[in-house]
A = this chain, B = another copy of it.
């Protein structure tokens, strides 16, 4: 296997009409806002206490631990977002704040390397006694992701060294006789240990990651038997009901053919499996990853790239069971899906995985954050009727309005670190050339064959299919430009140096060689807005259509279309009309569609059920990108519209 490398974020500048309004938000609004929430200074937001937990563990303050057992990870993900952001937008003040935070974290670390404020404060000396629920390895993983990222951009070792000491301790503990079968209850450490291996070159981290993966699902099941250990204490009241598939530990990973259980856990595991498959040259592990991707995308993924449909346990359910109204589709799960798919594309050089990553990023991940960067969705339904989203009911997990923060606040910093690292999805590199995955205006600096180049991309993608790429640099460029042809593209044409050409396409990438300083590659992708159907086995979407333009899924909102969106039928025989609206939602392409509204006539007054007849009145429909819903008035939203019968 030959793995494509993501270009360094320091070499990428994004300046794009579609993405700017989110990526530029990260240093300007999201990072400062999240710093405030982590320090509990946002009025009306759920308390976090996460920074104070570190200060208390470090002995700098007194007080009690507050929050979930995984509260530390919010700080780690914030630091990771800071690192990515600093790599393309230096900010001395922010770096100082990060350094100060890292100093607190370092002070909280125990002499043996252990670091988890929940257990340091609450049960000192009792480490790793409850892996099913404890999340220590999950928090450690996020800290390692932060530590390696921060080191890569700043060269500063403090947090990296904290992570090394912590990882060394973990490698020790989890090779002790009593922990030889132990695995994390929530995967994340595995992919982080691979990153630490990549930064340090220390094989033992890779080995630990592989061990955790290989141990998973082996008999006797460590997680299922853990509670029999003396002194075991329960952390979550209802956890005893969890089944092994909830944490993907019901069978060895190479025997897993179906994405099961908690969706975030699953895709974090699969990401690490892909990493380890590459480093260990493990074809059987890679094959498992391929099967799991296929399962997700062919049977268990919303059109928006959302996964994990159950509001209970945030989990996958059964094939083709993707209810729209009660969808869970956690933002973090789509973040993880993008991470997994990026790795798969890098290892297999197959663009199909990037289609999935792009779907997740452009729809569910963006929907997860408001256009002001200060409120977030954890849950991403595809149909919302706000009045029905009541507390203490089956729809209590669905929020019709983005929230300032969450008691379980995994999603907001996860979205932040994803947006801050968007560049890593845009370009890959290897000997063969530069791989262009996402079509994002901006530049990337390259060193190829010892010579410097800059690729400049100009596009209004995804609202327009034209992409212009220009090479500037020191003469002729070694290698090719590998341009992804998304699967949703109806047709495409390439004009290279002014000449229309038909480049060779392999696994979804068009290869264009012989480029030199000043050369331009123009691509025209035909990506008209279109009606999309779902596989009829997907019962929730039966008789319904959605509208998609390129990777962008559209939706009806009450503010444009009136209430009771279920009354609307889309006329798929009528054309869709695209209109760019500079004034709307920070500038967006909207779609006009034709349809009708069904009404029941003849139903007696005050009668919930009765003999009536249906009439249909013409209606003009207006759709906006799903990612942008709930950025105006609160109201109903719907992706899958009833299709008018022909």
Q: Taking beta carbons and an 8 Å cutoff, which residues of A are in contact with B?
A: 237-238, 241-243, 246, 294, 297-299, 301, 303, 309-313, 315, 317-319, 321, 323, 325-326, 328, 385, 387-388, 390-396, 530-540, 542-543, 546, 548, 564, 566-567, 569, 572, 598-600, 603, 606-614, 616, 642-646
Whether A246 touches B392, Cβ cut-off 8 Å, given contacts A532-B609, A609-B532, is yes
Select A317's contact among B294, B388, B531, beta carbons within 8 Å. B388
Does the CB pair A600–B326 fall under 8 Å?
Answer: no
Bound Cα distance A530, B609 (Å)? 12
Cβ–Cβ < 8 Å partners of A532 in chain B:
609-611
Cβ–Cβ < 8 Å partners of A546 in chain B:
609
CB A189 to nearest CB in B, in angstroms, measures 24
Does the CB pair A543–B598 fall under 8 Å?
Answer: yes
Instruction: Return the 5 tightest CB-CB contacts between A and B, nearest first.
Output: A645-B645, A542-B566, A310-B393, A539-B566, A321-B388
Select A391's contact among B243, B540, B567, beta carbons within 8 Å. B243
Cβ–Cβ < 8 Å partners of A610 in chain B:
532-533
Instruction: Give this chain's copy count.
Output: 2
Does the CB pair B643–A614 fall under 8 Å?
Answer: yes
Q: Main secondary structure on chain A at its contact with chain B?
A: loop
Bound Cα distance A303, B608 (Å)? 8
Does the CB pair B299–A608 fall under 8 Å?
Answer: yes
Does the CB pair B312–A534 fall under 8 Å?
Answer: no
Does the CB pair A298–B606 fall under 8 Å?
Answer: yes
Bound Cα distance A539, B386 (Å)? 12
Bound Cα distance A642, B543 (Å)? 8
- Beyond the given pairs A533-B613, A536-B599, A542-B566, 10 more chain A to chain B contacts, judged by CB atoms under 8 angstroms and listed by A's residue number, are A243-B391, A246-B392, A303-B608, A317-B394, A533-B614, A542-B598, A543-B543, A548-B609, A572-B613, A644-B645
Does the CB pair B315–A392 fall under 8 Å?
Answer: yes
Cβ–Cβ < 8 Å partners of A566 in chain B:
539-540, 542-543
Q: Which of A242, A530, A534, A614 has the most CB of B within 10 A?
A: A614
Select A534's contact among B540, B609, B642, beta carbons within 8 Å. B609
Bound Cα distance A298, B607 (Å)? 6
Question: Which residue of B is nearest A642, CB measured?
Answer: B543
Bound Cα distance A393, B328 (Å)? 11
Cβ–Cβ < 8 Å partners of A533 in chain B:
600, 603, 609-614
Does the CB pair B543–A392 fall under 8 Å?
Answer: no
Cβ–Cβ < 8 Å partners of A603 in chain B:
533, 535
Bound Cα distance A148, B235 (Å)? 47
Does the CB pair A313–B534 fall under 8 Å?
Answer: no
**15 examples of A-B residue contacts, CB within 8 angstroms:** A294-B606, A298-B608, A309-B394, A310-B392, A313-B392, A313-B393, A326-B326, A326-B394, A385-B539, A533-B600, A539-B566, A542-B566, A543-B543, A546-B609, A645-B645
Bound Cα distance A294, B605 (Å)? 12
CB A525 to nearest CB in B, in angstroms, measures 15
Whether A312 touches B394, Cβ cut-off 8 Å, given contacts A318-B387, A599-B536, A603-B535, is yes
CB A359 to nearest CB in B, in angstroms, measures 9
CB A384 to nearest CB in B, in angstroms, measures 11
Select A392's contact among B241, B303, B539, B542, beta carbons within 8 Å. B241
Question: Which residue of B is nearest A490, CB measured?
Answer: B611
Does the CB pair B317–A535 fall under 8 Å?
Answer: no
CB A531 to nearest CB in B, in angstroms, measures 7
Question: Which residue of B is nearest A598, CB measured?
Answer: B543
Bound Cα distance A246, B391 (Å)? 11
CB A596 to nearest CB in B, in angstroms, measures 9
Cβ–Cβ < 8 Å partners of A394 in chain B:
309-312, 317, 323, 326, 328, 394
Does the CB pair A543–B569 fall under 8 Å?
Answer: yes
Cβ–Cβ < 8 Å partners of A388 in chain B:
317-318, 321
Whether A564 touches B535, Cβ cut-off 8 Å, given contacts A312-B392, A318-B387, A569-B543, is no
Question: Which residue of B is nearest A539, CB measured?
Answer: B566
Q: Which of A309, A321, A531, A609 has the most CB of B within 10 A?
A: A609
Question: Which residue of B is nearest A388, CB measured?
Answer: B321
Bound Cα distance A530, B602 (Å)? 14
Select A600's contact among B241, B385, B535, B611, beta carbons within 8 Å. B535
Does the CB pair A600–B536 fall under 8 Å?
Answer: yes
Cβ–Cβ < 8 Å partners of A598 in chain B:
536, 542-543
Whether A564 touches B537, Cβ cut-off 8 Å, given contacts A313-B392, A609-B532, is yes
Does the CB pair A564–B543 fall under 8 Å?
Answer: no
Does the CB pair A315–B393 fall under 8 Å?
Answer: yes
Whether A318 touches B564, Cβ cut-off 8 Å, given contacts A237-B237, A534-B609, is no
Bound Cα distance A608, B548 (Å)? 14
Question: Which residue of B is nearest A387, CB measured?
Answer: B318
Cβ–Cβ < 8 Å partners of A600 in chain B:
533-536
Cβ–Cβ < 8 Å partners of A303 in chain B:
608-609
CB A483 to nearest CB in B, in angstroms, measures 22
Q: Which of A246, A599, A616, A646 has the most CB of B within 10 A?
A: A646
CB A353 to nearest CB in B, in angstroms, measures 14
Bound Cα distance A10, B469 (Å)? 91
Cβ–Cβ < 8 Å partners of A387 in chain B:
318-319, 321
Q: Which of A311, A536, A572 has the most CB of B within 10 A?
A: A536
Does the CB pair A392–B242 fall under 8 Å?
Answer: yes
Question: Which residue of B is nearest A545, CB measured?
Answer: B614
Cβ–Cβ < 8 Å partners of A542 in chain B:
564, 566-567, 598, 642
Select A393's contact among B317, B530, B531, B564, beta carbons within 8 Å. B317
Does the CB pair B318–A535 fall under 8 Å?
Answer: no
Cβ–Cβ < 8 Å partners of A391 in chain B:
243
Cβ–Cβ < 8 Å partners of A535 in chain B:
600, 603, 607-609
